């Protein structure tokens, strides 16, 4: 149901663009083709921009070493593990059975390949930065070796490793299986998107043909109100996603993240905003990940440096969230649907509690749909003197 519902909302959001092209004397089928080709061109251009911003093999090696070192260092500090010893604090003693396997799995995923190992060693003779990376890499390896020596038995270690290899192989096979499983659903969703845009009222006329003449006008008005509400929601959501993505890019760039990476984080934050508050979470995760992995700070404010970079990113995300809550939610989404922000928050919380991810994703359109349905039915009952 998720791909089909998403495609239906997207069709309602794109319908004004198709109608605009029709007013320019372009046939509707050609207008839909132009819209789809334009969307594909935009997606390809965005992916090329992301690929251009992606690091070189040297950059990948550097990011891996920085990521492993940052994760291990923060983990040791949080758990009270000086020099990788096993004593730890009470928090570590309570959660070690859960956190240690996850840390090992992360280290296995980010482990350097033999080619990356040779690249790291070869660059150390000419660059101080790479010598520092090599020291960090050796420290991480030494810490992992000390942790392995403190395991209860070699059998346990071998068992964990075999599980890790099986998990790694499963991680390789899982994406292909997931794509093969999801492809028919998304093909059906694409066809639904096209059919809804191609529709010139046949669906509505088919539904109205089932209604008796006595209730024809009230049902027609109710369907029109529901359709208007869903179009308003789709357009408002698209506008809010674009605005949030641009705001995230701007605030993170001001915090010190290079604009190309701030734009990438903003792009994914805007896409994630189809689920309420997921965009802010994506912005925070992306910004903190950059702060942990990179040391290139380009803030226009002179007081932002390595010591307070995390705080600058947190302040940027909080500022973005405030703009979203004060401006975008009430004016864009709430203004289109005439819903108070507190209703949106409670609806998302209740939907997530009862139906999980799908409940959080479709809580707002469901509230808007029920509100439009109830309001339209009451108006028709009053108009016909029933109440």
Q: Domain limits of the chain?
A: 57-150, 201-387
Closest CA to 290 of 322, 255, 246, 321: 255
204-245: per-residue pLDDT in tens? 777 777 777 777 788 888 888 887 887 788 788 888 899 999
Count CB neighbours of 45 within 10 A: 10
pLDDT computed for residue 318 by the predictor: 93
What confidence tier does 167 reach under pLDDT thresholds 50, 70, 90?
Answer: very low
What confidence tier does 154 reach under pLDDT thresholds 50, 70, 90?
Answer: very low
315-371: per-residue pLDDT in tens? 999 999 999 888 887 788 777 777 777 777 788 788 878 877 777 777 787 888 888
Count CB neighbours of 331 within 10 A: 14
Residue 4: exposure state from Cβ atoms within 10 A (0-12, 13-18, ≥19):
middle
DSSP letter assigned to residue 56: -
pLDDT at residue 93 is higher than 80:
no
Mean pLDDT across 235-262: 90
pLDDT computed for residue 68 by the predictor: 83
pLDDT computed for residue 178 by the predictor: 62
Which of the listed ranges 84-93, 134-143, 241-250, 296-305 does the model predict with the highest average pLDDT? 241-250
pLDDT at residue 83 is higher than 60:
no
Count CB neighbours of 198 within 10 A: 13
DSSP letter assigned to residue 25: T
Structure tokens at 259: 């604009």
Mean pLDDT across 100-128: 82
pLDDT at residue 3 is higher than 80:
no
Give how far Cα 190 sits from Cα of 45, 182, 299, Å: 21, 12, 42
pLDDT computed for residue 337 by the predictor: 72
Helix (H, G, I), strand (E, B) or coil at 317: helix
pLDDT at residue 150 is higher than 50:
yes
Q: What is the mean pLDDT of the chain?
A: 78
């Amino acid at each position: 149901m998720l791909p089909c519902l998403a495609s239906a909302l997207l069709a309602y959001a794109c319908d004004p663009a198709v109608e605009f092209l029709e007013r320019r004397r372009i046939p509707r089928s050609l207008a839909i083709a132009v819209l789809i080709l334009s969307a594909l061109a935009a997606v390809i251009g965005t992916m090329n921009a992301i690929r251009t911003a992606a690091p070189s093999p040297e950059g990948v090696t550097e990011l891996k070493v920085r990521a492993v070192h940052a994760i291990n260092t923060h983990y040791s500090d949080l758990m009270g593990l000086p020099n990788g010893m096993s004593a730890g604090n009470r928090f570590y003693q309570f959660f070690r059975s859960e956190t240690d396997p996850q840390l090992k799995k992360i280290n296995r995923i980010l482990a350097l390949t033999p080619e990356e190992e040779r690249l790291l060693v070869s660059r150390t003779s000419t660059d101080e930065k790479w010598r520092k990376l090599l020291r960090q890499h050796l420290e991480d390896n030494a810490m992992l070796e000390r942790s392995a020596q403190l395991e209860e038995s070699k059998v346990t270690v071998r068992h964990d490793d075999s599980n890790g290899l099986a998990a790694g192989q499963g991680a390789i096979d899982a994406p292909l299986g997931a794509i093969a499983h999801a492809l028919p659903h998304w093909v059906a969703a694409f066809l639904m998107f096209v059919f809804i845009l191609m529709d010139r009222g046949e669906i509505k006329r088919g539904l109205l043909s089932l209604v008796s003449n006595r209730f024809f006008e009230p049902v027609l008005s109710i369907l029109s109100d529901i359709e208007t509400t869903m179009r308003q929601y789709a357009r408002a959501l698209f506008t809010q996603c674009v605005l949030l993505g641009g705001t995230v890019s701007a605030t993170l760039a001001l915090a010190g993240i290079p604009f190309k990476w701030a734009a990438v984080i903003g792009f994914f934050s805007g896409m994630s905003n189809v689920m309420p508050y997921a965009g802010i979470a994506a912005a925070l995760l992306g910004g903190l990940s950059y702060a942990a992995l990179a040391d290139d700070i380009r803030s226009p404010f002179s007081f932002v440096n390595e010591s307070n970079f995390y705080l600058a990113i947190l302040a940027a995300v909080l500022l973005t969230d405030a703009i979203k809550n004060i401006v975008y939610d009430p004016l864009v989404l709430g203004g289109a649907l005439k819903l108070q922000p507190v209703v949106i928050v409670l609806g998302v919380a209740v939907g997530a509690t009862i139906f999980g991810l799908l409940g959080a994703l479709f809580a707002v359109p469901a509230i808007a749909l029920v509100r439009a349905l109830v309001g339209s039915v009451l108006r028709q009952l009053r108009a016909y003197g029933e109440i």
